[in-house]
Amino acid sequence: MIVTENLYFRYADEKDENCFALKNVNIKIKDGEFVVIIGHNGSGKSTLSKLLNGIYYPTQGKIFIDQLDTSDESLIWEIRKRAGMVFQNPDNQLVATIVEEDVAFGPENMGLSSAEIRLRVDEALDSVSMGDFKRKPPHHLSGGQKQRVAIAGILAMKPKCIIFDEPTAMLDPSGRKEVMETIRYLNAHDRMTVVHITHFMDEAVHADRILVMDEGEIVLEGTPKEVFSQVDTLKSIGLDVPQVTLLSYELKKIGFDLSGENLTVEELVEELCQLK
Amino acid sequence: MLRDITIGQYYASDSVIHRMDPRFKIVASMLYLVSLFLVDQIIAYLAVVLFIGSVIKLSRVPVGYVLKGLKPIFLLIVFAFVINIFLTPGQGSPVFEVGFIKIYAEGIERAFFMAIRLILLIIGTSMLTLTTSPIELTDGIEYLLNPFKKIGLPAHELAMMMTIALRFIPTLLEETDKIMKAQMARGADFESGNIMNRAKALIPLLVPLFISAFRRADELAMAMEARCYKGGEGRTRMKVLKYSVLDLWGVGIVTLYMAICVVM
């Protein structure tokens, strides 16, 4: 679905020729996969997401979305149709004054018939459970609800893949939970390819694969278990591991017979109970 | 306190007037404005009052609610009335004379006409905004301006700007509130002092507000592009405006009304 080849990117206003925001990024994301990209501020994760959607063009190397090259300007609208993008601030991505009008914005831009748009809007709102808020103005909704409307706006364009650029960063814990549940539902139920960019470690636990970025490079890659067991590497680049994993890791270090890779409380409890 | 401001004082209801096509309503309001300046007889104003009265009745908006819209321009009406009554020169002898103040019969007549005209004008235009939601209004305006695209009028862009402005008014008001509270917590004073001081106190409010508005605009533009927005070209609408039998009735009634106004 998404392939990048030797991707380098330097911002246009960057004077230093050798100062790349992204360095030699090679990723392959398969159809239906749930990939989480983590990294601290300035690690290049948001830059990468904007490159995937054709908002920025690579300085060197190539990006293919569904075999389409993002540096080919004639393909840009097709690429954006296939790889939708949800941004961080829910307020700054809603266009219309009524929820359903906003969801219709994408399909309207695609030039679909009004009956088709109506169908897609209702479907999209139902899959994020916001059907009851159809006629409400967005400023009457909570942050989590607004973000779900933004997701519906992308879903109505029927993309194959959605790139989430820190969609939960500005939400309260309950809003985060709503949005994470929606994302996981879309991946599990609709087989949507999800690229989720975040700096919350606990959101990465359910991913199929985690990519860890630092200084514009991919430094670690693997399943959540594989990645989170590298506690020392993660700490050296300023990232935390989920608390449960940390506890398990520390216990193992002082001699308990544990795997040190537990991701959920239940898993750790299970393992602890089996200790003699 | 800022949250109470509502723009486009829409009164939600499901009346026949509400259900009419916004394009027709906009054109009808314009014709109504023209009619106000066509008529110049007391008897003709009766026709106007009858017309607008039945529109209000049909729209099911409470009369008191409509009249409330007159409040902000009450002073203006009084002012126009007074100016006209004192400053209109007349032919005959003055009805009333004290020193240099002379009031003529013509002046009284003109002052009354002016006041009635202003009142009917405000009521008429507020009936449009009361019965048409802001979205319908922008849609209607976009459709009506479409023919002028040929001479380079950016009809779609204008409508899009209006929609975005409407969308961001509550967001920016909320933000203003937040910044104000933050500044007040640090000792800013927005409420005391003379006008100059108060205006100066607004600077620390306006600067962050503008910066944030620009940042929002930038992010919104990016989000719109990510959702395939490429201007009005090739864009369709979910809700297509359609004329109904109601509008046909409306056209008939407005034509009749205009005919009466022209004849009188």
Closest CA relative to residue A260, chosen from A221, A227, A212 = A227
As a whole number of angstroms, the distance between CA A19 and CA A15 comes to 8
Helix, strand or coil, per DSSP, at residue A170: coil
pLDDT tens figures, A48-71 = 998 998 888 899 899 999 889 988
pLDDT reported for residue B137:
86
The verdict on B171 touching A (C-beta cutoff 8 Å) is: yes
Distance of residue B248 Cα from the nearest chain A Cα, in angstroms: 24
pLDDT at B170 over 90: no
Are A142 and A65 in contact, with CB atoms under 8 Å apart? no
pLDDT band at B52 (very low <50, low <70, confident <90, very high): very high
Q: Which helix (H) or strand (E) holds A162?
A: strand A161-165
pLDDT reported for residue B5:
44
pLDDT reported for residue B136:
85
As a whole number of angstroms, the distance between CA A117 and CA B57 comes to 36
Question: Which residues are within 8 A (CB) of A68 and not within 5 positions of it... i.e. 6 or more apart?
Answer: A75, A78, A79, A82
Closest CA relative to residue B159, chosen from B247, B241, B231, B243 = B231
Please give the average per-residue pLDDT across B122-143, as a whole number.
87
For residue B212, give the chain A residue with the closest CA: A92
Are A139 and A90 in contact, with CB atoms under 8 Å apart? no
| Portion of chain B with pLDDT greater than 70, in percent | 97
The better pLDDT of the pair B74, B69 is held by: B74
Distance of residue A138 Cα from the nearest chain B Cα, in angstroms: 8
Closest CA relative to residue A56, chosen from A44, A48, A68 = A48
Please give the average per-residue pLDDT across B13-20, as a whole number.
89
As a whole number of angstroms, the distance between CA A197 and CA A204 comes to 9
Question: Which residues are within 8 A (CB) of A89 and not within 5 positions of it... i.e. 6 or more apart?
Answer: A170, B216, B219
Name the CA dihedral angle for B85, B91, B96, B98, rounded to a multiple of 10 degrees. Answer: 90
Closest by Cβ to A117, choosing from B220, B224, B238? B238
The verdict on B145 touching A (C-beta cutoff 8 Å) is: no
Please give the average per-residue pLDDT across B143-168, as a whole number.
88
Gyration radius (Cα) of chain B, Å: 24
DSSP code per residue over B65-117: HHHHTTGGGHHHHHHHHHHHHHH---SS--SEEETTEEE-HHHHHHHHHHHHH
Closest by Cβ to B236, choosing from A85, A92, A113? A113
Residue numbers in A near B225 (CB within 8 A): 55, 80
pLDDT reported for residue A248:
85
For residue A95, give the chain B residue with the closest CA: B164
pLDDT band at B8 (very low <50, low <70, confident <90, very high): low
Cβ–Cβ gap B229/A154 under 8 Å: no
Name the CA dihedral angle for B253, B256, B259, B261, rounded to a multiple of 10 degrees. Answer: -60
Cβ–Cβ gap B238/A107 under 8 Å: yes
Long-range own/partner contacts, residues A234-238 (CB < 8 A, 24 or more apart): A237/A39, A237/A40, A237/A212, A238/A40
pLDDT at B201 over 60: yes
As a whole number of angstroms, the distance between CA A26 and CA B234 comes to 36
CB pairs below 8 Å between A and B: how many? 93
pLDDT at B153 over 50: yes
pLDDT at B3 over 60: no
Helices (H), chain A: 45-52, 76-82, 99-109, 114-127, 143-155, 173-190, 224-228, 231-236, 243-253, 265-273
Please give the average per-residue pLDDT across B1-27, as a whole number.
75
Are B58 and B15 in contact, with CB atoms under 8 Å apart? yes
As a whole number of angstroms, the distance between CA A183 and CA A46 comes to 18
Domains of chain A: 2-241 (3.40.50.300)
DSSP code per residue over A243-269: HHHHHHHHHHHTT----S---SHHHHH
The three-point CA angle A93-A201-A62 to 5° equals 60
Q: State which amino acid sits at residue A267.
A: E
Q: State which amino acid sits at residue A194.
A: V
Helix, strand or coil, per DSSP, at residue A232: helix
Cβ–Cβ gap B163/A95 under 8 Å: yes
pLDDT reported for residue B7:
46
Interface test with A, best of B161, B224, B238 (most A CBs within 10 A): B238
Query: Domain residue spans in chain B?
Result: 2-132+242-263, 154-226
Q: Which residues pair with B6 in a beta bridge?
A: none
Are A96 and A87 in contact, with CB atoms under 8 Å apart? no
Are A107 and B234 in contact, with CB atoms under 8 Å apart? no
Closest by Cβ to B238, choosing from A114, A138, A153? A114
As a whole number of angstroms, the distance between CA B250 and CA B19 comes to 11
Going residue by residue through chain A, which has 276 residues, state the pLDDT in tens, using 9 for 90 and above: 899 988 999 888 877 777 888 988 999 999 999 999 998 888 888 899 989 988 888 998 999 998 899 888 888 999 999 999 999 999 999 998 889 999 999 999 999 999 999 999 999 999 999 999 988 888 889 999 999 999 999 999 999 999 999 999 989 999 999 999 999 999 999 899 999 999 888 888 889 999 999 888 899 999 988 888 888 888 888 888 888 888 888 888 888 888 777 788 888 888 888 887
Residue numbers in B near A121 (CB within 8 A): 238
The verdict on A26 touching B (C-beta cutoff 8 Å) is: no
For residue B218, give the chain A residue with the closest CA: A92
Distance of residue B165 Cα from the nearest chain A Cα, in angstroms: 9
pLDDT reported for residue B192:
79
As a whole number of angstroms, the distance between CA A158 and CA A120 comes to 8
Number of residues that make up chain A: 276
As a whole number of angstroms, the distance between CA A234 and CA A38 comes to 10
Q: Which helix (H) or strand (E) holds A86?
A: strand A83-86
Closest CA relative to residue B260, chosen from B54, B32, B20, B59 = B32
pLDDT at B1 over 50: no
The verdict on B240 touching A (C-beta cutoff 8 Å) is: yes
Distance of residue B245 Cα from the nearest chain A Cα, in angstroms: 21
As a whole number of angstroms, the distance between CA A20 and CA A52 comes to 17
pLDDT reported for residue B66:
85
The better pLDDT of the pair B44, A7 is held by: A7
Residue numbers in A near B227 (CB within 8 A): 80, 84, 105-106, 109, 153-154, 157
